[in-house]
Amino acid sequence: MRSPCLLLFFSFFLLLLLSLSSSSPNDRQVYIIYFGEHKGAKTVQEIEETHHSTLLSVKNSQEEGRESLLYSYKHSINGFAALLTSDEASILSEMEEVVSVFPSRANTWSLQTTRSWGFIEELEGVSLKKSNHLRRRAKYGKDIIVGLLDSGIWPESRSFSDYGMGPVPKSWKGICQAGEAFNSSHCNKKLIGARYYLKAYEAYYGRLNTTNEYRSPRDHDGHGTHTSSTVGGRRVHGMSALGGFAYGNASGGAPLVRLAMYKVCWPIPGGDPALENTCFEADMLSAMDDALADGVDVLSISIGTSGTPPKYPEDGIAMGALHAVKRNVVVACSAGNSGPTPATASNLAPWIITVGASSVDRVFTSPVVLGNGMEIKGQTVTPYKLQDKFYPLVYAANAVVPGTPKNISAGQCTPGSLDPNKVEGKIVFCLRGNGPRVGKGMEVKRAGGAAVILGNLPANGAEISVDPNVLPGTAVVSDDAIAILNYINSTRTPTAKIIPAKTVLDVKEAPFMAAFSSKGPNALDPNILKPDITAPGLNILAAWSEVSPPTKLASDPRRVKYNLLSGTSMSCPHVAAAAAIVKAMYPHWSAAAIRSALMTTATVINNARKPLADASGSIAGPFNYGSGHLRPVHALDPGLVYDASYTDYLTYLCTTTTGTKFDSSFNCPAHPISPTNLNHPSIAIPNLNGTLTVKRTVTNAGTGRSMYSVTITPPFGVSVEISPKILKFSQVGEKKSFKVTLKAKSGNEGAEDKKGEYVFGSYEWRDGMHVVRSPMAVSIAN
């Protein structure tokens, strides 16, 4: 039996694939037995008893049942997690009440900030006065509670100070769970809750090794501290990364929100701490069950699956999020760091906000000057400097220990690969790939090199994730990597110098999409466009665990309070913060309405007034960024919203999954409704054959009377008609429906070329004040 894998979308964006496989059918593993919503009114004890007796139906004794039960999900989610053989699991999956039975996968993370919020402000293009006015009305997210599923939190960080904050909201029912180096006094009026979950982790790996981890909500890793401070960190003056980079006043996106940490991610024993963390689905479901009962308003989950996406009923994050949406809790998740390969986006359920990652307008320049006088752009946040003179330069592949195969890995400075005799005192040029970037600098240092230049592979394009190297160094884009190699080849005595790094702001063109950001089309249901939106995720500065090195390399003795990281893990909390602010302004809006406000107000234009590009400089599209780049101030005044209820999502599930029975109070309609008609703020049509009509409904969220007219930018080779073309509203909350008819143009040369490929367009409703934009992605049937 092979189960798919779950991933935290990690800093340094290297994903770990962990395959849980059992060699014999008698091997037990953790399964989730999922019943959907609770049926009727039952006490927590009654629910637990039901779970227990269900489990006993496949176990030999009370004792065996008790010992194998890990969790009873009993507050919002109905189900349990237990150690089962595959036979026992398959018996349970045949029970009538059961929605799904699936192995608890090991997820990993696609695992803040001085600049990203200021930059977003610029993209908004609204006056400071209007922006401040709207933010004040939204009270900077005051009293909205954002829960995070992550690696824990470093509560002493200044970002989590509760100075001047009012009492904890009365609605809050959560706790501050004590554990190693963590007790109730580590929570405050900012960090109002903290819990930890590791039963499924320990069922798989055995008891947690506490040498480099806390058995408590305290963050050893740093990831959870980073994401938490990005959502809701207080304003901290004069903060910077190691070496003074990115200096400025840091603040989270919604500085007055309350935070609750649900620690679900733990290190893999014997793994490389720089990369390997894991978050078990059974632990995550328990965290979500508690978070919803505790009273969170928004959930930020920088965790996802990689590889083949599981079907919705067998996807713990998707199911937990559906329970959340029923309770009007917004769920933002990272899209993943598996780009630029197409169809890699994870967290694909339409009720989740799926977030891609893009750059900000800040670079850390540290150019290389070659011996021939050529100057090459470089970027780094390395806090060490070389002397101002030329050093001998060597390509790593020409300096490997004798006997190393001369394959592509030879130039990648993998541990133990370099020959000290050949690199001593030199600048070593290494290529990316095979292991963490900072590990390559570590290898150069080990072998006695003076500095490292890290070259992008063509797949990395022009995107540089800056690193606090352990020795002087910088990093260059792929075109420049080739130029350096050509120079090394052209001379017997290559030399170079590295100019020390400095922070440069207002860089044009920004944002561009990060190459690592996972892409559409949606591998699970191509009728739903994913990702939904993009937000800053490249070189983001935020708070950090004070016991974790900035590089996360075990051999790095440095410690920092703030650190720069990249990943969709970093962009997801930006969107969670924006959702919290919208929620503060419109407390009664559904999760779908809030998502719609964020999506329809996003921009596809960069700060040079050009279309958003990808890391290689090509024009990006909805499969990179969904609706575009987040603009939270615009989202506070969206004009119209595409609303969808919990029932709409259940109806959608009727069309895509057979025999769904999430909620016994709901019956699937006799005639299934096409998934394209889910009232999503975007349109995706795979294999358009002839003509297709899609229905959408908008709700007036503006000021009473208004009249909107539509502008269409059809995808190439597709004609699009919208009817009616004008929508008149007389009051707030009024709904109007319209039809979008898409037709593949025939006899059109261009359309012929595009068969099977996706083409993109958009339509916009405008009333003179608001622009409500929806992207369209269409492929024409072959």
Q: Shortest distance, CB of residue 552 to ligand NAG, whole angstroms? A: 13
Residue 407 interacts with ligand NAG (CB under 6 A): yes or no: yes
Could you identify the residue written with the tokens 């720089």? Answer: 274
* 737 contacts ligand NAG (rule: CB under 6 A): no
Least distance to ligand NAG, CB of residue 224, Å:
19
| Alpha-carbon span 305 to 488, nearest angstrom | 41
Cβ 639 to ligand NAG shortest distance, Å: 32
Pick the piece of the chain touching ligand NAG (CB under 6 A) from 38-46, 277-285, 483-491, 731-739: 483-491
How remote is the C-alpha of 31 from its chain's centroid?
25
The residue (of 408 and 608) whose beta carbon lies closer to ligand NAG is 408
Torsion of CA 678, 679, 684, 690, to 10 degrees: 70
**How does DSSP classify residue 11?**
G
Closer to ligand NAG by Cβ: residue 412 or 600: 412
3-class DSSP state for residue 421? helix
Structure tokens at 726: 């004008």
Contact predicate 263/283, CB 8 Å: no
**Is 150 among the catalytic positions?**
yes
Distance separating alpha carbons of residues 508 and 35, to the nearest angstrom: 51
Q: Which of 51, 75, 223, 680 is catalytic?
A: 223
Supply angle C-alpha 303, 306, 308, rounded to 5: 135
Shortest gap between Cβ of 218 and ligand NAG (angstroms)? 10
Pick one of 57, 62, 183, 737: the residue that binds ligand NAG (CB under 6 A).
183
**Residues 762-781 interacting with ligand NAG (rule: CB under 6 A):** 781
In terms of residues, how long is the chain?
A: 782
Q: Is 372 in the site for ligand NAG (CB under 6 A)?
A: no
Give the pair of three-digit tokens for residue 477: 């884009």
- Pick from 489, 647, 665, 723 the residue near ligand NAG by CB under 6 A: 489
SS (H, E, C) 571-601: HHHHHHHHHHHHHHHCCCCCHHHHHHHHHHC
In degrees and rounded to multiples of 5, residue 36 shows phi and psi of: 80, -140
Contacts of ligand NAG in 659-718 (CB under 6 A)? 689-690
The alpha carbon dihedral of 570, 591, 314, 36 has a sign of positive
Pairwise CA distance, residues 263 & 150, whole Å: 5
699 closest CA partner among 668, 740, 728, 732: 732
Give least dist CB 67 to ligand NAG, A: 23
Active-site entry in 228, 569, 682, 706: 569
Q: Which of residues 243-262 bind ligand NAG (CB under 6 A)?
A: 248-249
Choices 85-93, 165-173, 177-185, 707-715; region in contact with ligand NAG by CB under 6 A: 177-185
Nearer to ligand NAG, 253 or 309 (CB): 253
- Provide the β-strand partners of residue 774: 763
Q: Residue 782, interface with ligand NAG (CB under 6 A)?
A: yes
Residue among 405, 659, 669, 768 that touches ligand NAG (CB under 6 A): 405
| CB of 576 closer than 8 Å to CB of 146 | yes
Give whichever of 44 and 408 is closer to ligand NAG, judged by the CB atom. Answer: 408
Q: Which of 486, 492, 588, 768 binds ligand NAG (CB under 6 A)?
A: 486
Q: Which is nearer to ligand NAG, 18 or 386 (CB)?
A: 18
Q: Residue 393's beta-bridge partner residues?
A: 427
One residue of 26, 61, 211, 658 binding ligand NAG per CB under 6 A: 211
Amino acid of residue 339: G
Yes or no: say if 135 and 633 are a contact pair by the CB < 8 Å rule: yes
Catalytic annotation present for 569: yes
Bridge partners for 364 per DSSP = 503
Angle subtended at Cα 548 by Cα 236 and Cα 358, rounded to the nearest 5 degrees: 60
- Site stretch for ligand NAG (CB under 6 A), options 207-215, 454-462, 599-607, 721-729: 207-215
For residues 538 and 365, give the distance between their C-alpha atoms in angstroms, rounded to a whole number.
15
Q: Among residues 100, 240, 409, 517, which is the contact residue for ligand NAG, using CB under 6 A?
A: 409
Q: How far is residue 290's CA from residue 500's CA, in Å, rounded to a whole number? A: 49
Kindly state whether residue 209 participates in binding ligand NAG, applying the rule CB under 6 A: yes
185 binds ligand NAG (CB under 6 A): yes
Q: Does 184 bind ligand NAG (CB under 6 A)?
A: yes
Q: How far is the CB of 667 from ligand NAG (least distance, A)?
A: 31
Using CA atoms, how far apart are residues 545 and 697, in angstroms rounded to an integer?
46
| The one catalytic residue among 143, 150, 297, 614 | 150
Nearer to ligand NAG, 43 or 407 (CB): 407
How far apart, in whole angstroms, are the C-alpha atoms of residue 520 and residue 775? 13
Q: Per the structure block, which two tokens stand in for 54?
A: 């269900």
Shortest separation between residue 70's beta carbon and ligand NAG, angstroms: 22
3 among known catalytic residues: no
CB of 502 to ligand NAG, least distance (A): 15
User: Shortest gap between Cβ of 248 and ligand NAG (angstroms)?
Assistant: 4
Cβ 666 vs Cβ 731: under 8 Å: no
* Cβ nearer to ligand NAG, comparing 304 with 715: 715
Q: Please report, as ranges, the residues that interact with ligand NAG according to CB under 6 A.
A: 183-185, 209, 211-212, 237, 248-249, 405, 407-409, 482, 485-486, 489, 689-690, 781-782
Catalytic residues: 150, 223, 569
